[in-house]
C-alpha cells in the first residue's frame, strides 16, 4: 500500500481551496492532503483546515518553491512514498492523480503534461517559444521526450522525494524548470502523462508581450544557472 500525499501550495486561494480538497477526497480517498499556505493574507488556512486537510502555514511568502519543499520535507519525515503536487486554484483535475501515480511504476517522477494531446491548453508568443525551448533542452537531459516542462502537476516517487526534500529550488521558476534539471542530473527516471487543464487555467498566462519577454529572459537565465551549478551543489556527485 503506497502512502500518498497530495500537496497543494496555496497563496490567497480561499475561494477555491475548499472545493479542490473536497474533490480530491472524492477522487483519491486514500490520499492525505497537505495544504501549504504560502503566507496568504486571506482565510486560506481556515478554509483548508475546515475542508479536512492538514495545513502547514508558512509565516511569510516563500514562493511555490519554498511551499513545495515544505511539502517534500513533510513527506520525507512522515514516510510518504508518493507526493503529488496539485494547484489549489483548481486548474489540475484530481481525477488525473491516479494515472500520474500509476505511471510512477518504473519512473521516479511523472509530469502531467498539458500539450501532450489531451485538452485545449494553448500558449502563444515568447512564452510559447520559451516553453518549447525548455522542453527540447530538458528532454535531452532526461533522455525522454518531455513536452511540458513548466507544468506544476507532478507526481514524485521516493527517490525524488528524498532529493527534493533537500534540494527543491526556491528561486524564481525553480519549482518547474530547475527542479526538473536537478532530477534529470541526479539520474532519476522522468516520464510524462498527458492531462487536460481546466478552464480556470487556460488563458491566465500573461498576454502582455513585455511581461512575456521578461519571463523568457528570466527563465533562460534560471535554466542556464541550473546547468552551470556543479553537481556537488545538489549532493548528487556519485549518483543517487
Partner 1 sequence: MSLATYIVGIVAAALVLTVVLVLLGRRRLRERHAVWWLVAGALALIAAIFPQTLEWLSALLGIGLPVNLVFFVGIAILFLVDLQMSSELTRLDDRTRSLAERVAILQLEVDRLREASNGPGEQHGEVQYETDRGPREHREP
Residues in touch with partner 1 (CB under 8 A): 36, 46, 49-50, 52, 54-60, 62, 66, 69-70, 73-74, 77, 170
Q: Considering the complex, state which of residue 35 and residue 216 has its C-beta at the smaller distance from partner 1.
A: 35
Answer yes or no: are the C-beta atoms of 82 and 104 closer than 8 Å.
yes
Cell of 184: 534529470
Q: Considering the complex, state which of residue 74 and residue 234 has its C-beta at the smaller distance from partner 1.
A: 74
Nearest approach in angstroms of CB 125 to partner 1 is: 32
Q: Considering the complex, state which of residue 128 and residue 170 has its C-beta at the smaller distance from partner 1.
A: 170
Q: Considering the complex, state which of residue 134 and residue 164 has its C-beta at the smaller distance from partner 1.
A: 164
Distance CA 80, CA 74 (A): 9
Q: Considering the complex, state which of residue 69 and residue 114 has its C-beta at the smaller distance from partner 1.
A: 69
Burial 9-45 (b: 16+ CB within 10 A, else e): bbbbbbebbbebbebbbeebeebbbbbbbbbbeebbb
Strand segments, DSSP code E, in the chain are 4-10, 32-37, 54-57, 82-85, 109-113, 154-156, 190-194
Nearest approach in angstroms of CB 141 to partner 1 is: 25
Nearest approach in angstroms of CB 116 to partner 1 is: 32
Distance CA 7, CA 20 (A): 12
Quick check: helix, strand or coil at residue 56? strand
Nearest approach in angstroms of CB 63 to partner 1 is: 9
Nearest approach in angstroms of CB 29 to partner 1 is: 16
Quick check: helix, strand or coil at residue 193? strand
Amino acid at each position: 500500500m503506497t502512502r500518498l500525499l497530495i500537496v497543494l501550495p496555496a497563496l490567497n486561494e480561499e475561494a477555491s481551496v475548499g472545493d479542490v480538497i473536497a474533490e480530491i477526497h472524492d477522487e483519491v480517498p486514500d490520499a492525505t492532503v497537505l495544504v501549504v499556505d504560502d503566507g496568504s493574507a486571506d482565510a486560506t488556512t481556515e478554509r483548508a483546515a475546515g475542508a479536512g486537510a492538514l495545513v502547514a502555514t508558512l509565516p511569510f511568502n516563500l514562493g511555490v518553491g519554498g511551499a513545495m519543499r515544505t511539502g517534500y520535507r513533510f513527506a520525507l519525515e512522515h514516510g510518504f512514498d508518493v507526493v503529488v503536487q496539485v494547484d489549489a486554484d483548481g486548474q489540475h483535475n484530481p481525477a488525473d492523480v491516479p494515472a500520474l501515480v500509476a505511471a510512477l511504476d518504473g519512473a521516479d517522477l511523472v509530469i502531467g503534461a498539458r500539450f501532450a494531446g489531451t485538452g485545449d491548453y494553448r500558449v502563444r508568443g515568447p512564452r510559447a517559444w520559451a516553453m518549447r525551448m525548455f522542453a527540447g533542452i530538458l528532454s535531452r537531459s532526461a533522455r525522454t521526450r518531455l513536452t511540458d516542462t513548466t507544468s506544476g502537476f507532478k507526481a514524485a516517487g521516493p527517490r525524488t522525494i528524498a532529493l527534493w526534500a533537500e534540494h527543491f529550488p526556491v528561486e524564481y521558476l525553480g519549482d518547474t524548470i530547475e527542479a526538473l534539471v536537478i532530477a534529470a542530473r541526479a539520474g532519476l527516471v522522468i516520464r510524462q502523462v498527458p492531462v487536460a487543464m481546466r478552464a480556470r487555467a487556460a488563458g491566465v498566462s500573461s498576454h502582455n508581450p513585455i511581461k512575456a519577454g521578461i519571463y523568457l529572459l528570466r527563465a533562460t537565465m534560471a535554466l542556464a544557472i541550473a546547468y552551470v551549478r556543479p553537481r556537488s551543489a545538489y549532493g548528487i556527485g556519485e549518483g543517487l
